[in-house]
Structures are given as C-alpha cells and as structure tokens.
Structure 1
C-alpha cells in the first residue's frame, strides 16, 4: 500500500484514540448503582425531628438548632467500594457549623478505628465554606492527615456530589466527578491505611470550639435551624454484614475502578495547586519531620510552616461575588 494512502488511516486511528481518552477522562467516577431510599439503606442516629425525609425518602434533611444536631448511618458495613451523596449546605452565617459525610467503624473498633472524612466547615457571612478531608487508620488519631480546600462554586446554592472511592490499594476523594485527593497504600503507612469494614455516616453538629478560625467564631443560633440537604445517596460497596465488622460475605474488588487516567491525574493536580489551603505534609509545627508517606518537593514553597497556603488566592472562586452580595458585614478570616 502506498505511503500516502496510509495517512488518512493513521489520522483516523489517532483521532479515535483521542476521543476515547477524552471520554474516559470525562467519566471520572465508575458507574454507580441506583441511589437508595433512606428506608432501603440507612438508619437515623440522633436528632429525632431534626431529621426529615422528602421525595419518597430519596432526600434527607438534617438540621442543627439549640436543642440538637442530627445524623444518620448506613444499615450495613462495607469493605471497600464507592460511597457518594449530593449535598447542599446551609447558607448565610454558618460559623461553627460542621456538616460531615464520612466512613467509620468507631462503634465496632473503639481504640483501633478507621475513618475517611469529608468535613464541611461553616464560616461567617460573606466567607466561603471550607472542605476538609481526613484519613485515619487503626486508631491513628494522633497523626491527623488533614487537607483543606476552597471550592470553585457556592456549595449552598445547589447540590454537588461528594464521593469516596476506597479500595485495597488507594483512596480517592471526588467533588463533582473531579478527583481532589489520592491516598496510596504504602509500606510505610502500615496499619494506618484504613483496612477494616466501615459504615457510612452523615451528621450536622456544633463545632464552635474549633471549626471556624480555631473557635474564634461560634454558632449563632439566631440563624438556626441550619439545614443540610442530602440526595442521590449511593452505597456501592462490598457488603460486610450489618455493622458487625465481619469479613465481606462475597468476593468484591473495586480496585480496578480506583485508578486514574493521565487526564484525571492532571485535573487533580490543577485543583490542588489552585484550591488547597492546608496540607498536613507541609505542616512543620505538628510534624517537624513529614509523615513517612509524604513526598515533599518544590511545591512546599507555596505553604507556610503551619501547613497553610501562602497565597490568599487559594480560595473559592465565587468569593468576590458572594462578598458583594452579602456586603462583607463580618470580619474576614
């Protein structure tokens, strides 16, 4: 075959590969099962009337007032899988308010529990909510692995999807299908990589002692009730029994789903460079020597010894619009 006639075929192959890669990069999360209703997969933890169901049990509202917060949990425990929810956070003045979406087995392993956290930290009027992720393994609460981020949207105006993908080898946190953090199992982490069955939890509570500026700003119940809304709740995991901590009942390996393409990894790196406001690997006050899994390079120059980002630009990109709308009535953090 003439060389010239091969060119159109080669171009077609390259275009097909590019299209396939682009499609794969858009699909940042594996396909999930249909979201469960509350009665199908969850149970109330506390808060009596501060937990309300809507839309045939597919939407859950949990609220915080002077009397109590509220929370719910999955009926069963899981060893690995994909766990997600679309969440809309309370608006206006939310200093001191904490909304948590997380996995834990603290009720089964009191001293050696594992945990994977999304924690949403409220703020004063005109300032954005912050998102914090954390990882604990085998009761390693003395070695907190926190990271905090701004967001590119206002999480109080609409629902956004937050997901945890957990396999034997890695953990990936997602916001709206975008990976924002990856924790890879290493020999140096040992038992501090979460490895026991966990249940899924969602709570809202008063974190006045620490959540906003280290406790400087408290919950102001004049603005209560604070309502967090949850929908599209997905439990796509390896069942391990009804919160017993027993081994998985059937073979189940989501490991292949917990891999990122080069495009996904680039998207994560761009997010972290622009929006991460605190990283434990850069915190020399708490950890004079980085924890063993930390690989600190030139990017450390972007962070203070406290682990906080040097640049004030690392914040939610909707911030200026919100400050104009709210008038900047409260002091900045």
Structure 2
C-alpha cells in the first residue's frame, strides 16, 4: 500500500509542478525542432540593395546594410494568411540617427490602395541615445488612420540579438520582444475592414528615414558612419493553415502571467500611443479604451518623458531588471 500511495503522490507532485511552470512561462516557444528556421535560399528572396545584402553561416544569417548608394532588403518567397513570424535581430551601433530597420508583413505589392501591414520599425538615434521601436497596424489601406505605438527598449539592441515576433490570427494580432508580449490588437466590429485580413509576405529592410525617423527629421543619416549593418538570424515562418491561431504551437489566449507582463512592459516602456493622441484624434478611435493611465501621456500622445526617462534609467542601472517580464 505504501508504494501505491507514493506513486499517486509522485503523480500529483509532477502535475502540480507542471501547472506551476506553465503559469511562469510568458510565451510558449514554437516547436523549433519540428519546424526549423529556413535558410535564406529556402524561404526568402532579395528585394534590392545588390551587394548590400550578404549571407553568412550557410545562409542562416542575413546582413543588410545602408550606405550612400542604397539600402537593402529581402522578402519571403510566399504570402501567408495568419501565423507566427519572428526573427532575431541585432541593430547597427554608434550614431544611427535617421536609420530605419523594418521587420514587417505587407501585401502592398498586390493591393495598392487597400493593403494590410503589420510593422516593427526600429528608429535609430544619435550617439549615446537609444534606438526606439514602433509597431504599426494597418488594414485595408488605413495608413491615414494609423495605429502606431512606440517603445523604449530595456536592453541595448546593438550588443546582441533579440527576438521580435508577430503572431497574427483571424481574431488577434500580438507583437513580442523576446518572450514578452508588448501589444495586442483584438478584432472587433468597430474596426471592420481595418483589421488586416488578406495574405501578406514577410519583409526586412534598412533605409534612410532622415526626413522623419529621429526627432521628426531634426537629425539625419550621417554617412561617415556607414555602412550601417542590421543582422538577422533565426528567421521563422510559421503559417497557420487552419487559421485557428495556434501556429507554432502557441496558445490562442494569453495567460494571466503573460498579460501581466504585457501590462508592465507597456506601463514602463511605451513612449507614444495613438489612443492617447488627442491632437490627432480628439475622439479616440473606437477600439481604444482610455482610462486613468491617460494622465501619463501628453495631448500629443507622447509619454510624459521626465517620469518615463527616470524610470527607464532606474531599470537599466539595475542590470536588466525587466528580464523578469
């Protein structure tokens, strides 16, 4: 009888441990062994930039660069309706004002006036100041409406690779940095056609955004620091053929731990939110739910920078305290 009791107890402890571990995981990792990252030749094609695109590591790493002649970029060979798409990216270091590195999905080559788009846009800065990242969600040509959000990063994106991911289903769009969800857009009747709903290709580009990328165009690209090189690896294309939102094994709903991590990341690091831009939208767009947190933002939608800047410095001095996110 004792051995039978111990066996039952062992099963209970194992299940409890598994349940506890599941609560601590922020994002279930895709089953990489089952569907490994494709080499460049297997899944992608060069868009522009001639010799400014270079392959390394048997085609598993891609370097794209910007110089006085041209930027560069590549795209997936296919288009996808829903899935999980990610890359590990290392950004150019030193002075990078005006430089834009983009990792995004789009169908603008097929639907000129009604295209959909999901963006990570990395915006360079002057020496000593940090890169910022902007996410955009455009559906059915709604670029004039805009659903932009910008964030500071809780790490130096030029020192090492970090993973950026887009998970797109027929009802949600989520953006992730490493294992932290930073944004979720939920499909609703109020958004209508402005929720992306047509197949898109995956793109990566680097280009000169001097007219707007840094302080509204105040600081331009300085080509004495060229070439600016952005490095990509672990490029994953995980289409969801059934459109049920489980591409790559990722659960459809965020756990309580994931949602709490996303709320912390947004509270600490979001520096602009379109829902708080009262100058652009006197009445918030219909999907926006604006509460007491609006006091943290200026009428322009920018975060009240003095408080946010002190908070960010505190976390960086703590040696990456946000790694707990």
| Interval containing the TM-score (normalised by the shorter chain) | 0.7 to 0.9
Q: How does 1:264-279 map to 2 (within 5 A)?
A: 264-279=258-273
Displacement, 1:29? 3.7
Aligned length: 303
Unaligned 5+ segments in structure 1 are 1-8, 239-249, 322-333
Displacement, 1:319? 9.3
- Residue matched to 2:288: 294
Displacement, 1:19? 4.7
- Residue matched to 1:251: 242
- Residue matched to 2:213: 211
**Quick one: structure 1 residues 127 and 104, their matched pair in 2 at CA, closer, same or farther if it must change by over 3 Å?**
same
- Residue matched to 2:78: 76
| Offset from partner CA, 1:9-53 (integer Å, 9 cap, x none) | 99x969954652433542504414211100000000000000000
**Quick one: structure 1 residues 166 and 229, their matched pair in 2 at CA, closer, same or farther if it must change by over 3 Å?**
same
TM-score by length of 2: 0.88
- Residue matched to 2:204: 202
Displacement, 1:233? 0.2
CA contact 2:26–2:258 (8 Å) conserved in 1: no
1:144 alignment partner, SS class: coil
**Quick one: structure 1 residues 23 and 92, their matched pair in 2 at CA, closer, same or farther if it must change by over 3 Å?**
same
Distance 1:212 1:319 in 2: 24
- Residue matched to 1:23: 22
TM-score by length of 1: 0.86
- Residue matched to 2:279: 285
Distance 1:295 1:104 in 2: 27
**Quick one: structure 1 residues 271 and 320, their matched pair in 2 at CA, closer, same or farther if it must change by over 3 Å?**
closer
Q: 2:223 aligns with which of 218, 221, 244?
A: 221
1:314 alignment partner, SS class: helix
Displacement, 1:320? 7.2
Q: How does 1:139-154 map to 2 (within 5 A)?
A: 139-154=141-156
Q: How does 1:89-238 map to 2 (within 5 A)?
A: 89-238=91-240
Distance 1:313 1:71 in 2: 37
1:53 alignment partner, SS class: strand
CA contact 2:170–2:243 (8 Å) conserved in 1: no
**Quick one: structure 1 residues 28 and 140, their matched pair in 2 at CA, closer, same or farther if it must change by over 3 Å?**
same
**Quick one: structure 1 residues 318 and 75, their matched pair in 2 at CA, closer, same or farther if it must change by over 3 Å?**
farther
Q: How does 1:6-85 map to 2 (within 5 A)?
A: 16-17=15-16, 19-26=18-25, 28-31=27-30, 32=32, 33-85=35-87
Distance 2:36 2:307 in 1: 38
| Offset from partner CA, 1:243-278 (integer Å, 9 cap, x none) | xxxxxxx53432573320001000000111100100
**Quick one: structure 1 residues 319 and 17, their matched pair in 2 at CA, closer, same or farther if it must change by over 3 Å?**
closer
